[in-house]
Amino acid sequence: MKTLNSILSLRSLITDWKRQQMSIAFVPTMGNLHKGHLELIKAAKEKSDKVVVSIFVNPTQFSEGEDFENYPRTQQQDIKTLVTYDVDLLFLPLIEEIYHSEAKTMITVADISNLHCGKMRKAHFSGVATIVCKLLNIVQPDRIFLGEKDFQQLAIIRLMVRDLNIAVIIDSVKIIRETDGLAMSSRNGYLTAEQRKIAPNLYQGLCNAADKIKQNLQSFREIEQQQQCVLINLGFKVDYFSICRANDLLFADKNDKELVILAAVTLGKPRLIDNIYIKRWS
């Protein structure tokens, strides 16, 4: 595996690969790799000749008071893992390589970025859209592989790629869960032993809501309120628990067929997000 820190050297290697008509897959990460990241890499290897992984803790997607400085950084272990998975190229840039000291350009995907997580993390999705756009411009991959755990982020990137006519195929990979249902996340390491026992109830709440939707006996708003109350009683602080239309993430009603239940909670120090996709036939 090659490890490169500069955009110039990365572009030189990518140009060489493309000259050889090799297809290129890209997996952007912030490091602290877990099984969810590794599933993205496995999927990328199946569909491309070369796999590029980036590790970059992006400062522009952290709001003031969030955990940028303390975000878990496990670079040496991550490198060993990527070598084991036979990744072709690791892009490991410094902040000053990515962001000019006088940078004035940020990308915002209107409307959808202000929903759900965007209500509480005002600059977050602009930071996400900007760094993904920059990395796509740098790497120029044929395909980008993204996880479905952050469904809103995935939807925003899809819109950005469409609206900016970026020539890349987006491959989404299903959420990878622990045996008790908790969605894998770098932030799970912040949970205490007691909180870790409670955390899987978030996924259970999503499953319960999905079952109630299929039973079709209650309104969506009643289901949301019930599950929020359950989670609060278990010790979660609930940011939102919302039954949405999968295409635009606006609140759904019983006439909508493709749904996603989105949830974000705080349990102790970490903020946890999760979702379930539902396709209704009647």
Backbone angles phi, psi at 16, to 5 degrees: -65, -45
> Alpha-carbon distance 197 to 195, whole Å?
5
102-106: long-range pairs with CB below 8 Å, 24+? 105/130, 106/60, 106/130
Backbone angles phi, psi at 117, to 5 degrees: -60, -30
Decide: 137 and 161 in contact? Cβ < 8 Å: no
Within 10 angstroms of residue 199's Cβ, the number of other Cβ atoms is 26
Within 10 angstroms of residue 8's Cβ, the number of other Cβ atoms is 8
Residues catalogued as catalytic = 37
